[in-house]
Each structure stands twice: as C-alpha cells, then as structure tokens.
Structure 1
Amino acid sequence: MRASARLEFRVSPADRARIEQAAELAGEPTSTFARHAAEERAERILRDHEATTRVPAQFFDDLYAALDAPGEPNAALAAAADRLRGMTGE
C-alpha cells in the first residue's frame, strides 16, 4: 500500500541529529526510519493493549472470596486421596 496520509511532528535539534544518524546507519531515508519506528511502537502498544483482559471490579471481589473460602473435596478427589494413602501405606 502506498502511503498517502501525512504526519508531522517537531523534535529538538539534538533528537533530529540522532534520528538522522540512526537512519543513516540503518541505510534508510530519515522519514522512512522515523515512520517505521513509529509504526513498530504503535503496533507494540496496540498488541499489549489487546492482550489485556478487562473485567469489572466485582469479578475480583468474587474471585478473592472464592479463593479465601475453604475447599470442598468432591468424590473424585476423595477417591484419589484414598488411592494415594493406599499406595503410601498411610
């Protein structure tokens, strides 16, 4: 896809010199270097944002309450514990 939208920003002379030097080392025009850097950072931030799961605060209250409540063994767990005790001789 050919770029058709324009984006401009201001930088300090020192930052411009660093960006130009880095672009030269990368063998890219300064505008291409700056565009790729911005695109890569945007992609990383968007990916991190999408990986974040957002849930209501009530969810955490319910989760902590469930974790704090004593566990109740079910029949399968009790049977497994009995088998383990039989194997270890306890």
Structure 2
Amino acid sequence: MDETGERAGLGDKLMGPMMSIIDKRRADLVPLLQGGPGQTAQAVLRDDECVRKVASFCYPLLPGLVRLAVKEPVFVDFVMNNREKVLGRLSQPVCA
C-alpha cells in the first residue's frame, strides 16, 4: 500500500475514537481552545499551539490498542492535518 493509502486508512481508524473523545470530554477540551478576546473559533483552529494542546490532551484518552499502534507524534500530526474536521465539532453548539 502506498503512503497516501496508509494515511487514509489511519485517518479512518483514528476519526471514530477522536470523535468519541470530543463528545465525552467536550467540557475539558473547550477551555483548551479558548483564544484571546474576540478570537473566533476559526482563528483558534488556525492556532497551532492550541490544536497541539488538544491533541496532546486527547492522546492518552485513546483506546490502549490504538495507542500501541499509533504513537503520539503521529497522532498529533493527524490532528494538525485534520483540524477542521476533527476539532470543528468543538465549535458547534451542543444539541440537547
């Protein structure tokens, strides 16, 4: 399999656990994305430091088998490269 195919497969495997973490830990994650006064959610998503903080927070919450297969730097790169899809969910209002 080529590198692009491997990345796509990795993304498919990581997206589900990441969305589960976001849904369960929203209250803990939103403060990590708080930007300065007047900073919009989109501006925060462009802030590499904020996105890295969220990725570093979420990595230990991944299932153990996923952490065995995917090391933290690879996971952080995944989140950085897919920030709109992964973290955009945090900027959406919670449905009651």
Fold shared by both chains (TM-score > 0.5):
no
- Under a length normalisation based on structure 2, what TM-score does the superposition of the two structures give? 0.23
- Under a length normalisation based on structure 1, what TM-score does the superposition of the two structures give? 0.24
Q: Relative contact order (C-alpha < 8 Å, sep 6+): which is higher?
A: 2
* Structure label with greater radius of gyration: 1
